[in-house]
Amino acid sequence: MRLLLLLAALGLSWAQYNPNTKPGRTTIVHLFEWRWADIASECERYLGPNGFGGVQISPPSENIVITNPNRPWWERYQPISYKICSASGNEQAFRDMVTRCNNVGVHIYVDAVINHMCGAGGGSGTHSSCGSYFNTGSRDFPAVPYSSWDFNDGKCKTSNGEIHDYSDANQVRDCRLVSLLDLALEKDYVRGKIADFLNNLISIGVAGFRLDAAKHMWPGDIKAILNRLQNLNTKWFPAGTKPFIFQEVIDLGGEAISSSEYFGNGRVTEFKYGAKLGNVIRKWNGEKMRYLKNWGEGWGFMPSDRALVFVDNHDNQRGHGAGGASILTFFDARLYKMGVGFMLAHPYGFTRVMSSFRWPRNFVNGKDANDWIGPPRNPDGSIKPVSINADTTCAGDWVCEHRWRQIKNMVIFRNAVDGQPFTNWWDNGNSQVAFGRGNKGFIIFNNDDWNLDVTLKTGLPAGTYCDVISGQKENGRCTGKQISVGSDSSARFQISNTAEDPFVAIHVGHKL
Ligand code: AAO
């Protein structure tokens, strides 16, 4: 009882800031545009066994079907109704996924699009993923139902109803984001429809929500909706557990709206994280890895316990949202692995790993003309299944960064060092850096243009450790580099600047 009270006082166990992952699981993966059936299999065959805590899924709600361009990925950010019915699967497939993932300790986080419905120019008809009728001219979405009363048309003060100026908070929240019909979230009726949608997902067994376009909603309106949500399904979660909430707010500074306005509702996406880390790893603007010594709040980021962090997301990997050339993606695989490795080793924030599909980039005047291209599809428009190669990578155009050995092993590293302090920082005054996590793990990077050869105090118990970047421990031996830690916890590291992966990570879980 005393423990329960303590947990409640600390707001740990039941609060919307807690990711609700199983103990010892510290990271979620965004399986962008995957089918529910494939996610269910992935939970069982890969994510559960490798210690992933959960999956952020693409929006499950019924969306508009766009054929010009042909089936862009972003059609799923244009809801037509709250039926669970999309290219990823129907409600039955969704329920099966949630059940099977939860049963292996991997939770599901829903990308909830509740700020708006489809674009104003969507037309009328049944060109939607489940065939529901709608008419954007009359603002009619009978499958919810919403009608013209339920949108912000009267409230927005700009000439054409669009957001023009991000320095005006009223515009950002009351006008249309890229013409998307903006719901009147101050209305009790609209709040009720959204709460019903989210509660249905909660009763099926999801663990939380990414709130899409949260910046475009008033924090108080979000709060009013969250107040109507039920606790998580007790089949998989302790009684009284609230859904995990993370809000998509892009705050790089210099605009009217700041992330902190949303802390009362839950966590917030920290977009500075990937933008700055990209600059450092690319060594742009004179950045060096040694500056990462005070990474986190020391860089002007939000408090760690409010932050959801990531190296790239589905928007900025292709120049949408707070896209910027500095963002690291799978296209720059060598640097990307270092960035993700750094993120997963560092204690700041709750971490999300990206898992993408490949598309042919086509830069025209600095912008990718192919930024709309959707996931691998069959000729009839259905999403292609994800199939797995013998070497555990994914086939076809599914990139599956989460299955890259270096990234998968760093997810396991983060679980192994959970709760340990940031210790034993070392740098060479440039871009060779190292740090430990108490007496559980240690990581070292060589991002300089010369070799590294140094003996450092790691904080780890004496013994022989397998580097989990060049290999791992398998059948009692190391498949990659081996590192000997002496009785004084020191170890010698040698990393060539031309190594395939110029970093080394060791932890107590992969000790011989
Ligand atoms: C599509 C078409 C549109 C069409 C519309 C309706 O592309 O031409 O009008 O359909 O028919 C996604 C796609 C959109 C797509 C939409 C609907 O990205 O292209 O529109 O689905 O299908 C803003 C929002 C942020 C949003 C981001 C994309 O604040 O919430 O734009 N992200 C989410 C999702 C995203 C989705 C939606 C929301 C909509 O993750 O996938 O859109 O559901 C500034 C502001 C940011 C703002 C950006 C972009 O950022 O701060 O808040 O993001 O501008 O407008 C530097 C600055 C940075 C600045 C940035 C601008 O980095 O530091 O602050 O430059 O480039």
Q: How confident is the model at residue 324 (pLDDT cuts 50, 70, 90)?
A: confident
State the DSSP string of 289-327.
Answer: GGGGGG-SGGGTPPPGGGEEE-S--TTGGGT-SS--TT-
Residues in the chain: 512
Ligand 1 mean position, distance from CA 368 (Å): 15
Q: Which two tokens stand for residue 69?
A: 């361009």
Answer yes or no: is the C-beta of 179 below 6 A from any ligand 1 atom. Answer: yes
> For residue 99, how far is its CA from the centre of ligand 1 (angstroms)?
32
Catalytic one among 33, 248, 251, 287?
248
Give the mean model confidence (pLDDT) for residues 304-318. 98
State if residue 255 touches ligand 1 by the CB under 6 angstroms criterion: yes
Task: Give me the torsion for CA of 319, 306, 95, 122, rounded to 10°.
Answer: -40
Q: Average per-residue pLDDT in the chain?
A: 96
Shortest-distance Cα residue to atom 48 of ligand 1 = 321
Read off the pLDDT of residues 195-249 as tens digits, 9 standing for 90 and up: 999 999 999 999 999 999 999 999 999 999 999 999 999 999 999 999 999 999 9
Minimal-distance CA residue to ligand 1 atom 4? 178
As a whole number of angstroms, the distance between CA 303 and CA 116 comes to 29
Mean pLDDT, range 309-322, rounded to an integer? 97
Q: Are 510 and 482 contacting, i.e. CB atoms less than 8 angstroms apart? A: no
Fill in the amino acid letter for 46: Y
Contact 137, 118 (CB under 8 A): no
Q: Which amino acid is at 296?
A: G
List of residues 6+ apart from 349 with CB closer than 8 A: 270, 273, 296, 301, 304, 307, 308, 309
278 touches ligand 1 (CB under 6 Å)? no
Residue 322: CB within 6 Å of ligand 1? yes
Q: Exposure pattern of 262-296 as b/e (b: 16+ CB <10 Å)?
A: bbebbbbbbbbbbbbbbbbbbbeeebbbbbbeebb
Which residues does 128 contact at the CB level (< 8 Å), separation at least 6?
A: 62, 63, 64, 65, 80, 81, 134
Is residue 70 over pLDDT 90?
yes
Residue nearest to atom 57 of ligand 1 (CA): 322
pLDDT (tens digit per residue) in 466-475: 999 999 999 9
Compute the C-alpha angle 340/341/343, nearest 5°: 60
Please give the pLDDT value at position 11: 46
Which numbered atom of ligand 1 lies nearest the CA of 322? Answer: 62
Q: Residue with structure tokens 């249309």? A: 176
pLDDT in tens, 381-422: 999 999 999 999 999 999 999 999 999 999 999 999 999 999
User: Quick one: what percent of the chain has pLDDT higher than 70?
Assistant: 97
CA-nearest residue for atom 39, ligand 1, is 77
Contact 98, 205 (CB under 8 A): yes
Report d(CA 432, CA 183) in Å as an integer: 50
Share of the chain above pLDDT 90, in %: 96
**Is 30 or 11 the better-scoring residue by pLDDT?**
30
For residues 275 and 304, is the Cβ–Cβ distance under 8 A? no
pLDDT tens-digit profile of 292-309? 999 999 999 999 999 999
Amino acid at 207: A
DSSP 231: P
3 state SS of 491 = strand
Nearest atom in ligand 1 to 116's CA? 43
Cα 98 to ligand 1 centre (Å)? 29
Query: Are 108 and 54 spatial neighbours (Cβ–Cβ below 8 Å)?
Result: yes
Which residue's CA is the closest to the ligand 1 atom numbered 33? Answer: 213
Query: What's the token pair of residue 270?
Result: 């920290």
Q: How far, in Å, are 36, 198, 324, 386 from residue 91 at the CA level?
A: 10, 14, 36, 20
Give yes or no for residue 212 CB within 6 A of ligand 1: yes
Non-local CB neighbours of 475 within 8 Å, separated by 6+ positions: none
- pLDDT attached to residue 479: 98
Among protein residues, the one whose CA lies closest to atom 28 of ligand 1 = 321
- Ligand 1 within 6 A of CB of 316: no
CA proximity to 229, closest of 256, 206, 261: 206
Mutation choice for ligand 1 from 61, 66, 74, CB with most ligand atoms inside 8 A: 74
pLDDT tens digit string along 331-371?
A: 999 999 999 999 999 999 999 999 999 999 999 998 999 99
Residue 452 CB less than 6 A away from ligand 1? no
Residue from 157, 122, 167, 156 nearest 140 by CA: 122
Question: Ligand 1 centre from 251 Cα, in Å?
Answer: 13
Predicted local distance difference test score (pLDDT) of residue 14: 59
CA distance 393 to 31: 14
8-state DSSP, 444: E
Whether 488 is a known active-site residue: answer: no
Cβ(78) to ligand 1 under 6 A? yes
| Largest interatomic CA distance in the chain | 75
For 12, the 3-state DSSP assignment is coil
Instruction: Using the mean position of ligand 1's atoms as its centre, give its distance from the Cα of residue 325 in Å.
Output: 16
Q: Kindly report the protein residue whose alpha carbon is nearest to atom 11 of ligand 1.
A: 119
* Residues 344 and 441: beta-carbon distance below 8 Å: no
H helix runs in 139-187, sequence order: 169-174
Q: Is the CB of 213 under 6 A from ligand 1?
A: yes
Q: Is the CB of 113 under 6 A from ligand 1?
A: yes
Q: HSE-up of 325 (CA within 13 Å, CB side)?
A: 7
Locate the ligand 1 atom nearest the alpha carbon of residue 323 and give its number.
62
> Of 435, 478, 479, which Cα lies nearest the Cα of 460?
435
Residue closest by Cα to atom 14 of ligand 1? 74
Whether 174 shows a pLDDT value over 70: the answer reads: yes
Q: How far apart are CA 288 and CA 277, in angstroms?
A: 10
Question: Ligand 1 centre and the CA of 321: distance in Å?
Answer: 4
Nearest CA to 367 out of 324, 331, 397, 326 is that of 324
Options 212, 315, 401, 448, the catalytic residue: 212
Read off φ and ψ for residue 111, nearest 5 degrees: -80, 105
For 465, the 3-state DSSP assignment is: strand
Query: Is-catalytic flag, 212?
Result: yes
Q: What is the model's pLDDT at position 1? A: 41
Where do runs of H (alpha helix) occur along 333-478?
A: 333-345, 405-416
**Predicted local distance difference test score (pLDDT) of residue 323:** 75
